[in-house]
Amino acid sequence: MEKNVVNNFGSFDITFEKGQGSTLSDVNGKKYIDFVSGIGVNCLGHNHPELVKALQNQVAKQIHISNYYVSDIGLKYAKNLLETTGYDKVYFGNSGAEANEAAIKLARKYGYLVSTGKMASTNGTCAVSDKKRNVIVTLEKSFHGRTIATLCATGQDKFHPDCFAPYPEGFRTIKANDYDCLKTAFDETVCAFMLECVQGEGGVNLVDADWAKAAAEAARKAGAIVIADEVQTGTARTGSLLASTELGFDPEVVTLAKGIAGGVPMGACIYKGIAKDVFVAGDHQSTFAGNPLAVAAAETVLNNIKEKEVLENVSKMGEYIRNTVRSWNLRCIKEVRGKGLMIGIDIEETSKFATAGEVQKMCLAAAEKGTGLCISTAGVKTLRFLPPLVITKEEVDTGLEILKSILS
């Protein structure tokens, strides 16, 4: 890593030059199977011809305009996204954290409007209250971003170091899939319940569908809206366009990012029902939000992932990876779990490695003798896979052969 680039990410000493499909090439000509896809960003893989063409065409037209105006491609994509998802309105941003910031601000304003009697809540009440409705309930082991507010929403103490204090108040956590906690989780101070459909950074932890529906019902009964953080799970990562649709809890607000534009920085916050008219001009803005280049990429991605073949590949390859790893029956593998192409593998220490991070380095080092493998981690003992949604069986098999040789 060059010394003049701040290494906030703890980046490895590998410099990539190009990619094709689900394979990356570094500046020394070494090849790597990509099971990371930019942490779920390069959903169509690398150098996808339709995405490349769309970006080239848009660059030749316009890259950016002020949000004083709207672009033709922005209007086209907004219509496509909302019709496809069944939502009413969209706010475009530049990242997942920014999308979640928008959702948090929307929730807080909703709570203000309800508590001041200016709008009815999800339980139908409309009356002035002496209690402020500004608490957002999230899940333990959740992750919602690295801005100060989204760090507060994140239910992991390791993301709350003293050096960033003081933190904003108004967040509390409950345990996922715990029915008992729902009895006391929501009251008249809560404006929103925010959850990931699969906890990515927390360890690729699945949320039970029945519990999610029960939690959403409890939140709405208390007058709160429901927010699905689909920054990682959205854009077909789990095998359906929105994971919240599959879980069936029908959130008023959904946040999207990661793969939404296939590698171009972008995020979005979509909302409907009681949430659709909360924001007005001036409530939340961003200079680059919804720029024509990003939405041109997003339009291409959406049109591709709506295709039956892509969704089927996500489900098929995800199941194939999980079943294959389980079939190895290796003592170091404690659990394999996931949904679609969002996969977590818990490992235990062996004589060859002690942590998931060490396995990650060994997978990269495999390139010295042939082909390397890019994987991610989600905690000390969890390997995480987020390969491109269009990854082929041949690419999967090559990557799994590398992993098996290291874990065996």
The per-residue pLDDT for 10 is: 80
Under a CB-based contact definition with an 8 Å cutoff, are residues 276 and 88 in contact?
A: yes
Under a CB-based contact definition with an 8 Å cutoff, are residues 42 and 259 in contact?
A: yes
Active site (annotated) includes residue 143? yes
Write the CB contacts of 24 (distance below 8 Å, at least 6 apart in sequence). Answer: 16, 18, 31, 32, 34, 46, 374
Under a CB-based contact definition with an 8 Å cutoff, are residues 141 and 202 in contact?
A: yes
* C-alpha distances in Å from residue 128, one per residue of 112, 188, 408: 10, 12, 64
Predicted confidence (pLDDT) per residue in 311-364, tens digit: 999 999 999 999 999 999 999 999 999 999 999 999 999 999 999 999 999 999
- Could you tell me the two tokens for 371? 């082909």
The per-residue pLDDT for 29 is: 96
Give me the domains of the chain, ranges plus CATH numbers: 16-34+308-407 (3.90.1150.10), 52-305 (3.40.640.10)
CA-based nearest residue to 31, from 401, 396, 374, 404: 374
Predicted confidence (pLDDT) per residue in 285-301, tens digit: 999 999 999 999 999 99
The per-residue pLDDT for 3 is: 67
Under a CB-based contact definition with an 8 Å cutoff, are residues 18 and 30 in contact?
A: no
Q: Given pLDDT bands bounded at 50, 70 and 90, which one contains residue 2?
A: low
Instruction: Say how far apart CA 318 and CA 314 lie, in whole Å.
Output: 6
Q: Is 354 exposed, middle or buried (0-12, 13-18, 19+ CB in 10 A)?
A: middle
The per-residue pLDDT for 87 is: 98
Instruction: Say how far apart CA 311 and CA 80 lie, in whole Å.
Output: 18
Lowest mean pLDDT among 7-16, 18-27, 91-100, 133-142: 7-16
Q: What's the Rg (C-alpha) of the chain?
A: 21
Active site (annotated) includes residue 258? yes
Tell me, rounded to whole angstroms, the distance of Cα 50 from its chain centroid. 23
What mean pLDDT is predicted for residues 3-24? 88
Under a CB-based contact definition with an 8 Å cutoff, are residues 234 and 242 in contact?
A: yes
Active site (annotated) includes residue 283? no
Count the Cβ atoms, other than its own, within 10 Å of residue 357. Answer: 15
Catalytic residue among 109, 141, 258, 339: 258
Q: What global pTM score does this model have? A: 0.96
Catalytic residue among 92, 109, 141, 143: 143
Count the Cβ atoms, other than its own, within 10 Å of residue 369. Answer: 9
CA-based nearest residue to 47, from 60, 59, 34: 34
Q: Given the DSSP bridges, would you call strands 198-199 and 225-230 parallel, antiparallel or unpaired?
A: unpaired
Count the Cβ atoms, other than its own, within 10 Å of residue 274. Answer: 17
Under a CB-based contact definition with an 8 Å cutoff, are residues 210 and 177 in contact?
A: no
The per-residue pLDDT for 244 is: 98
61 has pLDDT over 80 = yes
Average pLDDT for the chain: 96
Instruction: Say how far apart CA 160 and CA 163 lie, in whole Å.
Output: 8
The per-residue pLDDT for 130 is: 74
Tell me, rounded to whole angstroms, the distance of Cα 55 from its chain centroid. 23
Half-sphere exposure of 198 (CA within 13 A, CB side): 27
* C-alpha distances in Å from residue 392, one per residue of 45, 132, 133, 232, 300: 10, 52, 49, 21, 20
Under a CB-based contact definition with an 8 Å cutoff, are residues 228 and 255 in contact?
A: yes
What mean pLDDT is predicted for residues 150-169? 95
Sheet containing 376-377: give its strands across: 333-339, 342-347, 382-385, 376-377
The per-residue pLDDT for 238 is: 98
Using a pLDDT cut of 70, give the percent of the chain over it: 99
Predicted confidence (pLDDT) per residue in 357-401, tens digit: 999 999 999 999 999 999 999 999 999 999 999 999 999 999 999
Under a CB-based contact definition with an 8 Å cutoff, are residues 14 and 368 in contact?
A: no
The per-residue pLDDT for 304 is: 97
